[in-house]
């Protein structure tokens, strides 16, 4: 058996293989509700053989959403449509996760395909669930002063910080009620927790700013609050921008320190990405973020997921064999090929066991044309 298609156990959860669909925002919700679009979009990855399907960044509070079209998990009414997705993923043998998120100063931005024409009338705006609100952040500093889509946020006070922590904990309870196998605390990509972590976004002088210890405080308090309400047998993940990819910003070494602290709290795996601040730049290339995963895995002694142009099956297998990650996560690659896991298993010498039973007669076609290749 290949490493990629060997099981992975985190607490009481055993993934059928080490492939993961990374969170991908769809901007297709109204008032945070999952729709048939989400059901079909996500369900096909379960059918396609992935081990873990992680739902997109889901706002833990109404104001936590990146846009008015974001998925939410900030009220009990969101549970039922999410549970429908979870149940289907489970029926296909996949584990289901959801990313708990707060956009911070990057909130209340536009949905790119809804321009002035789509929002011209009150009826159109109501149909799309259009909303606009005041974002919050660690400091009153815009994500990008040169981009009018980003507002100057209100700096969170003590009550606001408490609201954030409580929002994450309440969202985790709802995720458990919906049947999710894991939740992922989103502390990456320039969103609220990443904003507190990075000295490029955090200019506070209280206990949540200044030193590394202070800048990590909110992320650790959120993780601790989530772990306290999340069932002990279910794994907890966190997504980090391991580096801001910017001078004077958050570094790989900082992430190793944070990952150790998260592990001590009860986080079981780190989903390793990078960037997200306007100042940060990195040129994408195949496997370009794998060094971040390897550094955190080896430096903090914690399981990691690698992400970022990992479509090459043999390269993905080699990453796991070298001990640079425990999970291979695809986002756009999964969108391009929802059956990537099935096809990768075949390419690595496996069989059609990952196919849904309704489709397994496809092997008869191979007797004439040969197995699928990647």
The pLDDT assigned to 367 comes to 46
pTM score, two decimals?
0.95
The pLDDT assigned to 353 comes to 85
Helix (H, G, I), strand (E, B) or coil at 120: coil
Catalytic residues: 191
Q: Give CA–CA dist 350/19, Å, rounded.
A: 14
Q: Which residues pair with 184 in a beta bridge?
A: 99, 237
Name the DSSP class of 225.
Answer: H
The pLDDT assigned to 363 comes to 62
DSSP 128-165: HT------EESSS--S-TT-TTSPPPEEP-HHHHHHHH
The pLDDT assigned to 347 comes to 94
CATH class of 8-369: alpha beta
Residue 18 parent element (H or E):
none
The pLDDT assigned to 365 comes to 56
Task: Chunk the chain into consecutive blocks of 10 residues (it has 374) and report each block's average pLDDT, rounded to whole numbers.
Answer: 96 98 97 98 98 98 98 98 98 98 98 95 95 97 96 98 98 98 98 98 98 98 98 98 97 98 98 97 95 98 98 98 98 97 94 82 56 50
Provide the residue ranges of all domains of the chain, joining segments of one domain with +: 8-369
The pLDDT assigned to 358 comes to 83
| CA dist 262 → 250, 274, 293, 296, 301 (Å) | 16, 18, 15, 12, 11
Q: Which residue has the tokens 């607490």?
A: 11
Name the DSSP class of 169.
Answer: H
Rounded to the nearest angstrom, the gap between the alpha carbon of residue 342 and the centroid of all alpha carbons in its chain is 22
């Amino acid at each position: 058996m290949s490493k990629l298609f060997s099981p992975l156990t985190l607490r009481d959860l055993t993934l059928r293989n080490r492939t993961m669909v990374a969170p991908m925002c769809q901007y297709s919700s109204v008032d945070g509700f999952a729709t048939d679009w989400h059901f079909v979009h996500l369900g096909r990855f379960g059918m396609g053989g992935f081990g873990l399907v992680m739902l997109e960044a889901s706002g833990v509070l109404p104001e936590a959403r990146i846009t008015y079209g974001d998925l939410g998990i900030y009220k009990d009414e969101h549970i039922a449509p999410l549970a429908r997705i979870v149940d289907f993923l489970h029926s296909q043998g996949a584990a289901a996760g959801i990313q708990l998120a707060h956009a911070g100063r990057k909130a209340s931005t536009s949905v790119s395909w809804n321009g002035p024409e789509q929002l011209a009338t009150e009826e159109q705006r109501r149909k799309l669930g259009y909303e606009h609100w005041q974002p919050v952040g660690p400091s009153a500093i815009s994500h990008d002063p040169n981009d009018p889509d980003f507002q100057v946020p209100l700096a969170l006070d003590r009550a606001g910080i408490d609201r954030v922590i409580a929002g994450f904990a309440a969202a985790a309870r709802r995720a458990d009620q919906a049947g999710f196998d894991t939740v992922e605390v989103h502390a990456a990509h320039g969103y609220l927790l990443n904003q507190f972590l990075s000295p490029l976004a955090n200019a506070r002088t209280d206990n949540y700013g200044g030193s590394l210890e202070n800048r990590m405080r909110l992320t650790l308090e959120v993780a601790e609050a989530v772990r306290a309400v999340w069932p002990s047998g279910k794994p907890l993940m966190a997504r980090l921008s391991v580096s801001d990819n910017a001078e004077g910003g958050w570094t790989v070494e900082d992430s190793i320190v944070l990952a150790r602290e998260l592990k001590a709290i009860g986080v079981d795996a780190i989903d390793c990405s990078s960037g997200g601040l306007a100042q940060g730049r990195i040129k994408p290339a195949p496997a370009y973020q794998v060094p971040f995963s390897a550094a955190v895995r080896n430096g903090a002694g914690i399981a990691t997921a690698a992400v970022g142009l990992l479509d090459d099956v043999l390269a993905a297998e080699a990453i796991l064999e070298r001990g640079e990650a425990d999970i291979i996560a695809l986002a756009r690659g999964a969108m391009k090929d929802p059956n990537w896991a099935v096809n990768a298993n075949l390419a690595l010498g496996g069989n059609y066991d990952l196919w849904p039973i309704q489709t397994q007669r496809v092997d008869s076609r191979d007797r004439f044309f040969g197995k699928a290749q990647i």
